[in-house]
A and B are shown apart, each in its own frame.
Chain A
Amino acid sequence: MATIEIDGKTIDVDEEGYLVNLSDWTDKVAEMFAGQDNLKMTDSHLEVIKFLREYYDEYQIAPAVRVLTKAIGKKLGPEKGNSKYLYDLFPYGPAKQACRYAGLPKPTGCV
Chain B
Amino acid sequence: MAAKVEFQVPALRPYPYVPDLVPDSMKGKGPFVAKPDFQTPLGFPGPLVDNWQEVAIEKMGEMLKKYRSLRVYLDVCVRCGACTDKCHYFLGTRDPKNMPVARQDLLRQVYRRYFTLAGKFFPKLVGAKDLTKDVLDDWYNYFHQCSQCRRCSVFCPYGIDTADISMAAREIMDSIGLGQKYCNEIIGKVYKIGNNLGLPEPALRNTLEGLEEDIQTDIGVPVRFPIDEEGADILLVTPSADFFAEPHIDGLIGYAKVFHQAGMSWTLSSYASEAGNFGMFIGSYENMRQISLRIRKAALDLKVKRIVFGECGHAWRVAYSFLNTLAGPFDFLDPKYPVPQHICEVTLDLIKRGALKLDKTANDHRRITFHDSCNVARGSRMGDKPGGQFFIPREVIKASCNFFYDMPADTIHDQTFCCGGGGGLLTDDLIELRVKGALPRIEALKHVVDTHSVTNMASICAICKSQFTKVLPYYGFKMDMIVSVHQLVSTAIVL
A residues at B contact (CB < 8 Å): 15-16, 58-61, 63-67, 70, 83, 87, 93, 95-96, 107-111
Complex contact A108–B206 (CB within 8 A): no
Complex contact B203–A108 (CB within 8 A): no
- Residues of chain A within 8 A (CB-CB) of B200 are 59-61
- The CA-CA distance from A53 to B415 in the complex, in Å, is 45
Could you say which of B239-247, B385-393, B397-405 contacts chain A?
B239-247
Shortest CB–CB separation between residue B13 and chain A, in angstroms? 36
Residue of B nearest to A111 (CB): B245
Could you say which of B40-48, B111-119, B190-198, B328-336 contacts chain A?
B190-198
Shortest CB–CB separation between residue A66 and chain B, in angstroms? 5
- Chain B 423-459 interface 0/1 with A at a Cβ cutoff of 8 Å (1 = within): 0001011000000000000000000000000000000
- Chain B 47-87 interface 0/1 with A at a Cβ cutoff of 8 Å (1 = within): 00000000000000000000000000000000000000000
Partner of B197, one of A15, A70, A87, A111: A111
A111 with B244, Cβ < 8 A, contacts A61-B197, A70-B210, A96-B428 known: yes
- Residues of chain A within 8 A (CB-CB) of B260 are none
Complex contact B245–A108 (CB within 8 A): no
A110 with B239, Cβ < 8 A, contacts A65-B246, A66-B249 known: yes
Partner of A110, one of B211, B241, B479: B241
A61 with B199, Cβ < 8 A, contacts A67-B207, A108-B186, A110-B426 known: yes
Q: Which of B186, B199, B214, B462 has the most CB of A within 10 A?
A: B199
Partner of A108, one of B189, B202, B210, B211: B189
- Residues of chain B within 8 A (CB-CB) of A59 are 200, 202-203, 206
A110 with B462, Cβ < 8 A, contacts A61-B203, A67-B207, A67-B210 known: yes
- Residues of chain B within 8 A (CB-CB) of A110 are 196, 239-241, 245, 248, 276, 312, 426, 462-463, 465-466
- The CA-CA distance from A60 to B465 in the complex, in Å, is 25
Complex contact A64–B466 (CB within 8 A): no
Q: Which of B235-262 contact A (CB under 8 A)?
A: 239-241, 243-246, 248-249
B122 beta carbon closer than 8 Å to chain A: no
- The CA-CA distance from A61 to B197 in the complex, in Å, is 9
- The CA-CA distance from A15 to B463 in the complex, in Å, is 23
Complex contact B245–A65 (CB within 8 A): yes
A108 with B428, Cβ < 8 A, contacts A66-B210, A66-B249, A67-B210 known: no
Complex contact A108–B185 (CB within 8 A): yes
Partner of B429, one of A16, A63, A64, A70: A16
Complex contact A64–B196 (CB within 8 A): no
Residue of A nearest to B421 (CB): A110
B285 beta carbon closer than 8 Å to chain A: no
- The CA-CA distance from A77 to B4 in the complex, in Å, is 70
Q: List 5 A-B contacts (CB under 8 A).
A: A15-B181, A63-B203, A108-B196, A109-B240, A111-B462
- The CA-CA distance from A110 to B251 in the complex, in Å, is 15
Q: Which of B153-210 contact A (CB under 8 A)?
A: 181-182, 185-186, 189, 195-200, 202-203, 206-207, 210
Complex contact B466–A111 (CB within 8 A): yes
Shortest CB–CB separation between residue A11 and chain B, in angstroms? 18
Residue of A nearest to B275 (CB): A110
Complex contact A65–B203 (CB within 8 A): no
- The CA-CA distance from A105 to B210 in the complex, in Å, is 23
- Residues of chain A within 8 A (CB-CB) of B206 are 59, 67
Residue of A nearest to B479 (CB): A87
Complex contact A16–B189 (CB within 8 A): no
Complex contact B428–A109 (CB within 8 A): no
A109 with B246, Cβ < 8 A, contacts A59-B206, A70-B214 known: no
Complex contact A64–B239 (CB within 8 A): no
- Residues of chain A within 8 A (CB-CB) of B203 are 59-61, 63
Complex contact B186–A109 (CB within 8 A): yes
- The CA-CA distance from A110 to B241 in the complex, in Å, is 6
- Residues of chain A within 8 A (CB-CB) of B181 are 15
Shortest CB–CB separation between residue B485 and chain A, in angstroms? 16
Residue of A nearest to B181 (CB): A15
Shortest CB–CB separation between residue A25 and chain B, in angstroms? 19
Contacts A96-B428, A110-B240, A110-B245 aside, 4 further interface pairs with beta carbons under 8 A come to: A65-B246, A108-B182, A108-B189, A110-B196
